[in-house]
Structure 1
Amino acid sequence: MNVGLAMSISLGILLLGYLIYGRWVGRRLGVDPNRPTPAHTQYDGVDYAPARPLLLFGHHFSAIAAAGPIVGPTLALLYGFLPVWLWVVLGVILIGAVHDMTALFISIREGGRSIAEVARRTLGPVGYFFFLSFAFSLCILVTAAFADLTAVALTSHHPAAEFGIQPSQTILRTRTLNGEPHVMIGGIASTSAIVMTLLAPFIGWLVYRRHASTWLASALAAAGAILSVLVGLYWPLQLNPRVWILIIMMYILAAAYVPIWLIIQPRDYVNVQILYLGLLSLIAGAVGLGLAGHRVEAPLFRITPDAVARLGELWPFLFITVACGAASGAHGLIATGTTSKQVSNEKHIPVVGYGGMLMESVLALCVIFAIVGGLGYAKYMEITWPAQGRGNAPLAFALATGYTLFKGLHIPLIYGTLFGIILLEGFLVTTIDAVMRLSRYLIEEFWRVLWGDRVPGLLRLRFVNSLIPVVLTAGLAFSRGYTRIWPLFGASNQLLAALTLVVATVWLVQKARTYWFAILPAVFMSGTTITALALTVIRRFQAHDYLLSFTALLLLGLAVGFIVQSVRFFATRGRGAWTWGTASR
């Protein structure tokens, strides 16, 4: 099939999904534009603060759109084009976007509390303990995997000869490795990231303290993004990956501690300019590929012994490998941890919640078509799944971006590839800071439940509650690479989505509302991800990776305990109190 036609059909299906199913779910939930939100009723200027819709969508989208929809589909294409495409398109409409919007809505109706706190109110302290422990563990896995992935991206390089760069050129800085000049792609992205981070507090001050207009903030953010890339071209920063992990740990500690308007909101808004440009460029590149006559260059199905040996069986491992491209439990944490505290009107819930998740799936589709249309399947297999040595999924994405923009829009290959690595870095950084901040929220909630109003003074300190998850993350990031964490992250991430949908189902039953759109995805995702997690326990143990094997076993036990508690609710309180599809009381 023609690449441009396939991309257009995919976008059309997602749009129909929002207009028909997304709006229907919003009506069933009971979205009310006249109801005040916690951002107004509990305003404190630190965590609870109403955000302008455009700024909020940028913050939420950049926070949820991480490496998952880039690395996940890149790895999963080993199974062939059709299984990955079907799961991304149908999975997001029926499960992923419903999960995000429902979690956001429930959190707002519960006063901006996290989904873990909602679990405590609906399923009691036992259900809360299981959910909170599982969610916090996932936060550590997400941040550790993405911190290591960020370090890999920021230190990446590639032979200059493949880009057709002449030795006489003076624009790009090169470094000789093994007798061959390499372009320091990651070094450029490193400088860009630092410049955008330093610019963030200034934009935050202008918007939230000087009340500057959204258009002025947008103009400054766009100018800052361009400036950061230009500075990176001339002064690429080269550091050891372990040094980068240490710097990242220091950054996320600060981001978790200081007011949200000082770093996270403006940093996300600065970075989202590149993210939006990346999406538009990749979509335009895919259309350009179609106009140039390029077709999908990948087998529809590739369920071979080699694919099974590398990734696992199609079910359940396709679903946990694609990860955030179709559904993500981490989104529920972000939606209820930070986003719900900033929504100024309930009418923004469908756009931010359902629409934000659809936008992430657009990113996943862009990755898929960039690989099968721009890079080509043979090149993809050579880079991502080499016969010998370690594959490099981030590099495969960056080169796929470069080839897509080169073949579709005639942009020089080197600049398209640089854009790809900067795009990936942006998605990574804006997720780890938000996830680390909501880790602090989860810890603070746990102390309140454990001690009530008598929380020890030391554990009341924001700095201490920010430091605890950072220390745990650093220990895992320094000892395990992202390739070893990814299967465990994928399984636990999807399972958290299932557990969130279970909480949503219980909440909807208690509120006497339609619930089948939540319970059916919950059952499917629970069965799929528990199977994947159990297999991960066995395979990590067989590989003598006892730390990750024990971690997976712990997560599995917490998940099973939570599900048992939920079944007990339906078997006791729910018996005779509700009928299929709609609760009644």
Structure 2
Amino acid sequence: MTWFLLCVGLLIGGYVIYGTFVEKVFGINAKRQTPAFTQTDGVDYVPMSKGKVYLIQLLNIAGVGPIFGPILGALYGPAAMLWIVIGCIFAGAVHDYFSGMLSVRNGGQSVPNLAGKYLGKKAKHFMNVFATILLLLVGVVFISAPAGLLAKLTGADISIFVGVIFVYYLVATIVPVDKIIGRLYPFFGALLLFMSVGLTIALLVSTEHSLLPGVQASDFLTNLNPKDMPLWPALFITIACGAISGFHATQSPLMARCMENESNGRFVFFGAMIGEGIIALIWCAIALSFFGGVEGLASGMAGNPANVVYEASTGLLGTIGGFMAVLGVIVLPITSGDTAFRSARLILSEFFNLPQNELGKRLLLAIPLFVVGAILTQVDFGVIWRYFGVANQATAVLMLWTASAYLMRHNKLHWICTVPATFMTTVVVTFLLNSATLGAGLPMTLSTVAGIIIAVTVAGGLLLTTKGKAVEVAEKA
């Protein structure tokens, strides 16, 4: 229990101390009007209260990633919890804060336009394609996962739930943001927090299961994978949403268009990521504790993290409580899937310069997205998840480099973004070079050396070409 509480305490301390530092480096201007007021359109740009925007942001970013990812990561042992804490504070929360605040400073623009502004047109074109593909993958993953859990709960055919979720996604994607998302998601956010706290308390008071039994300090630096799978760099790809996730860069602009004041940014963007980190810690701890360690977890998972969710929820909270907990888990991907398609629509609207104030124009972009999404649902879930993981972290890398370039141009402390960007670049390049299924299948040592060289080269090149460049007056606080 001590280790778990220490990890949670570190995350909260990270929000208070490092979050305040990051906010100071960025330099907020509480008197500056946000896009919610300067570009109000009643559809996507709608002012909302600080608390409401926080809960929506938390639900938008917290799909199955901070649950399935940490459960899969728990197979490596407590090292997964260490990465959640460090990654969340110094990479994920920084990533989310800048993806949101740069959007606020640039009229609510999406990540491709931000990348184009600070990294150049090639980065913009690359990000337009990459972000749209990522969002489609996210939408598909966040249809298949909740549909599977609903089928497991009810015994009904999974295709029925796939169809129902698809219809809901289409409606939620095209209606004004305050009609469904603004009204229902704060309630769902509260349900999510209640579910997470409930499971934690149940585990703490359980007489059958103890929290992190037998864990030693050395276990946090040891690979305990029962199949001897290498921790580097797979762990940093597997645990995405709980530590750092490029998907969040596509979601933060949604709330950047609704935030009433720049001073709310730390709570909304940095704070929501810390909240997601705590959720990830809870599920990582449950996975390690409920099954008595990595060996039991591997057996209980049987290749599907959804089995862990179902068994742990019903085992700790009983039939009714477990049913409610699983429903809470189902809410997560559904409330991220619809905003994934919504983000894709907005990214395409910016690319084609197609205003979205008319329903017909929203449908013109939404329908093709859903057709492609429907086709992708026929692909094996495991295959989609692997591609999603790599695409997700690659998007995070580009967003961190965008934020780093912004800080360089403004002669601010860019290292708070450059260091995590360099590390995550190394992770992604190493993984792609080493992976036999998704990449080149090169030896790990060679892949790692190449990853470090490429990451350092990118950092050096950005420093030489960006630092000191003139910035537009409109960017200044």
Aligned to 2:309: 397
- Structure-2-length-normalised TM-score: 0.88
Query: 1:494 Cα deviation (Å)?
Result: 1.4
Please say if residues 491 and 530 of structure 1, whose CA atoms lie closer than 8 Å, have aligned partners that are also in contact. no
Aligned to 2:301: 384
Instruction: Provide, for residues 77-129 of structure 1, a one-character-per-residue CA deviation record: whole Å limited to 9, x for no partner.
Output: 11122x10110011101111111011111110111111211112223322200
Distance 2:180 2:429 in 1: 37
Seen in structure 2, the aligned counterparts of structure 1 residues 567 and 87 have a Cα distance that, compared at 3 Å, is same
The list of structure 1 runs, each at least 4 consecutive aligned residues, that deviate by more than 6 angstroms after superposition, is 561-567
What RMSD, in angstroms, separates the aligned Cα atoms of the two structures? Answer: 2.8
Aligned to 1:354: 270
Is 1:269 aligned to 2:168, yes or no?
no
Please say if residues 77 and 288 of structure 2, whose CA atoms lie closer than 8 Å, have aligned partners that are also in contact. no
Is 1:475 aligned to 2:378, yes or no?
no
Query: 1:399 Cα deviation (Å)?
Result: 1.9
Query: 1:286 Cα deviation (Å)?
Result: 4.1
2:160 to 238, 243, 255: 243
Which stretch shifts more, 436-445 or 247-256? 247-256
- Structure-1-length-normalised TM-score: 0.72
1:19 to 16, 20, 31: 16
Aligned residue pairs total: 451
Is 1:285 aligned to 2:202, yes or no?
yes
Instruction: Provide, for residues 452-506 of structure 1, a one-character-per-residue CA deviation record: whole Å limited to 9, x for no partner.
Output: x8x9xx998110111122112111112222x222222112211211110001111
Seen in structure 2, the aligned counterparts of structure 1 residues 459 and 278 have a Cα distance that, compared at 3 Å, is closer
Q: Percent identity over the alignment? A: 29
Aligned to 1:340: 256
Distance 1:65 1:354 in 2: 14
Which stretch shifts more, 115-124 or 527-536? 527-536
Query: 1:154 Cα deviation (Å)?
Result: 0.9
Q: Could you tell me which amino acid in structure 2 is paired with residue 572 of structure 1? A: T
Query: 1:402 Cα deviation (Å)?
Result: 3.3
Distance 1:98 1:46 in 2: 28
Please say if residues 246 and 393 of structure 2, whose CA atoms lie closer than 8 Å, have aligned partners that are also in contact. yes
Aligned to 1:488: 387
Distance 1:13 1:530 in 2: 29
Aligned to 1:526: 425
1:51 to 48, 52, 68: 48
Aligned to 1:179: none
Query: 1:354 Cα deviation (Å)?
Result: 0.7
Query: 1:270 Cα deviation (Å)?
Result: 2.9
Distance 1:118 1:259 in 2: 24
Aligned to 1:321: 238
Aligned to 1:306: 227
Is 1:423 aligned to 2:316, yes or no?
no
Distance 1:307 1:414 in 2: 35
Instruction: Provide, for residues 221-273 of structure 1, a one-character-per-residue CA deviation record: whole Å limited to 9, x for no partner.
Output: xxxxxxxxxxxxxxxxx542123222222221211111111222223123223
Please say if residues 29 and 262 of structure 2, whose CA atoms lie closer than 8 Å, have aligned partners that are also in contact. yes
Distance 1:111 1:292 in 2: 53
Gaps of 5+ in 2: 442-453, 471-477
Is 1:90 aligned to 2:86, yes or no?
yes
Aligned to 1:149: 145
- Aligned to 2:274, the other structure's residue is in SS state helix
Query: 1:151 Cα deviation (Å)?
Result: 1.4
Distance 1:80 1:354 in 2: 27
Distance 1:119 1:276 in 2: 33
Aligned to 2:444: none
Distance 1:517 1:541 in 2: 30
Q: Could you tell me which amino acid in structure 2 is paired with residue 306 of structure 1? A: K
